[in-house]
C-alpha cells in the first residue's frame, strides 16, 4: 500500500476498521469491499416489500450536497436514505448561499449547525469530498457521489454487485471498459475495484485521445482496436462520452466513434457468448451502444440502477454505524480517564 493509499484509508476508516467516510476505493481492501457487497445484498429485498423501509437511520439527517447536476445518482441516494428511514435535505447549490458568495466552509458550518449527520457530496472538482471530510465536525459522515475525474466509488460498487450477481464472483473474469476513460471518474473506481476483488484481467478499449497518459499504472491493459479487445470478454462496460468535459477536438465525429468503438451486435458477438453488457448511464444510443444491445438479453443496465439503491443503502448505513462506534469508543475512553 502506498503512503497516499494509507492516508486515504486512515481518513475513511475508524481505528477498528469500520467505515467512517466513503470517499474512494483507494486503500480499501478486498474484505471491506466484499462486506459492502454482502450488506447491499441484504438490502435488495427491501425494495421488494410493500413498505420499503428499515429503521437503521431513523432520526438521522442526510444532506444531498450536489454542486454538479445528476438526476440518477441524486435520486438513488435520496431513495436509499429514505428507505433507511432518514430525513433527507436536497440542497440546490444553484440557489444556495455558495452562489451568493458564501464559502464552502461556511456553508458546511451552517449545515452542521442544523444537526446534519451525513453529507452526500457531488462536485466537479477532484478532491472536494476529501476536503470536506477533513474539515467537517467529527461524527458527520461524508459520502462521495462523484468528484471531478477522480472517483465515483458507489457507482463502481454497484457495478461490482451486478457482476457478482450475474457471474458469481470475479476470479477468472475478463472485463473491458470501453470509451471515454480520460474523463471518467467511474472507470478509475471500476479498475480499482476489479483488481482488488480478483478479476483476471481488466482492459480499457479506447482511442488514444480518450485515455489518460498513465492509464496502465491504474492496473489495466490497453487495447486501441475494439475488434481485438472484445475477444473472450466476460463483461463489457461501456462509458458515456462526456462531451461537457472535453476541451478541443478529441474525436473526429460521434459517427466515427460509434463505427470504431460503439457496441453493436456484431462487436458483442466477438466476446464470450455469456458476456454481460453494462453502462453507468445515461446512455447515448447510437453513439456508445446500439439500442438492440442496450435492450438485449445480455444487457444488465437496469439491474445496475436497481443495485445502486442497495449499494448506497449499504454504504450509508455502514458509515453511520462507524461514526456511532467511534463516538462511543471516545466517550468510553473519556469516562475511563
Tell me whether residue 155 is annotated as binding: yes
Strands 118-123 and 61-66: parallel
Burial class (CB in 10 A: 0-12, 13-18, 19+), 139: middle
Tell the burial category of 222 from Cβ atoms under 10 Å away from its Cβ (0-12, 13-18, 19+): middle
The long-range contacts involving 299-302, CB below 8 angstroms and separated by at least 24 positions, are 300/162, 300/166, 300/276, 301/277
Torsion of CA 324, 326, 331, 334, to 10 degrees: -170
Residue 122 marked in a binding site: yes
The answer to whether the annotation marks 20 as part of a ligand binding site is no
For residue 282, say whether it is annotated as part of any ligand binding site: yes
Q: Please indicate if the annotation marks 185 as binding a ligand.
A: yes
152 marked among binding-site residues? yes
- To which residue does cell 453507468 refer? 280
Take residue 268 and report the three cell numbers written for it: 458483442
Residues annotated in a binding site for L-aspartate: 100, 185, 240
Residues annotated in a binding site: 72-73, 100, 122, 152, 155, 185, 240, 281-282
Residues annotated in a binding site for carbamoyl phosphate: 72-73, 122, 152, 155, 281-282
Amino acid at each position: 500500500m502506498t503512503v497516499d493509499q494509507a492516508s486515504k484509508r486512515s481518513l475513511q476508516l475508524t481505528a477498528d476498521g469500520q467505515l467512517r467516510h466513503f470517499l474512494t476505493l483507494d486503500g480499501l481492501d478486498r474484505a471491506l469491499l466484499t462486506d459492502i457487497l454482502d450488506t447491499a445484498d441484504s438490502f435488495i429485498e427491501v425494495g421488494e416489500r410493500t413498505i420499503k423501509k428499515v429503521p437503521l437511520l431513523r432520526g438521522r439527517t442526510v444532506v444531498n450536497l450536489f454542486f454538479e447536476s445528476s438526476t440518477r445518482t441524486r435520486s438513488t441516494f435520496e431513495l436509499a436514505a429514505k428507505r433507511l428511514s432518514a430525513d433527507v435535505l436536497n440542497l440546490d447549490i444553484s440557489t444556495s448561499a455558495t452562489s451568493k458568495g458564501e464559502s464552502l466552509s461556511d456553508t458546511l458550518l451552517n449545515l452542521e449547525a442544523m444537526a446534519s449527520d451525513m453529507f452526500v457530496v457531488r462536485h466537479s472538482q477532484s478532491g472536494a469530498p476529501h476536503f470536506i471530510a477533513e474539515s467537517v465536525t467529527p461524527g458527520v459522515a461524508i459520502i462521495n457521489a462523484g468528484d471531478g475525474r477522480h472517483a465515483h466509488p458507489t457507482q463502481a460498487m454497484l457495478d461490482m454487485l451486478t457482476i457478482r450477481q450475474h457471474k458469481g464472483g470475479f476470479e477468472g473474469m475478463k472485463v473491458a471498459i470501453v470509451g471515454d476513460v480520460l474523463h471518467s471518474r467511474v472507470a478509475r473506481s471500476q479498475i480499482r475495484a476489479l483488481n482488488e476483488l480478483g478479476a483476471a484481467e481488466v482492459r480499457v478499449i479506447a482511442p488514444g485521445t480518450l485515455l489518460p497518459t498513465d492509464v496502465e499504472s491504474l492496473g489495466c491493459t490497453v487495447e486501441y482496436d475494439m475488434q481485438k479487445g472484445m475477444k473472450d470478454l466476460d463483461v463489457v462496460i461501456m462509458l458515456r462520452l462526456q462531451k461537457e468535459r472535453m476541451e478541443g477536438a478529441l474525436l473526429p465525429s460521434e459517427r466515427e466513434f460509434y463505427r470504431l468503438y460503439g457496441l453493436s451486435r456484431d462487436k458483442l458477438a466477438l466476446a464470450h457468448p455469456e458476456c454481460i453488457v453494462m453502462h453507468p448511464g445515461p446512455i447515448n444510443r447510437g453513439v456508445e451502444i446500439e439500442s438492440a444491445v442496450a435492450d438485449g438479453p445480455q444487457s444488465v443496465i437496469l439491474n445496475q440502477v436497481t443495485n445502486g439503491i442497495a449499494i448506497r443503502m449499504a454504504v450509508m448505513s455502514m458509515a453511520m454505524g462507524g461514526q456511532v462506534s467511534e463516538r462511543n469508543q471516545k466517550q468510553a475512553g473519556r469516562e475511563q480517564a
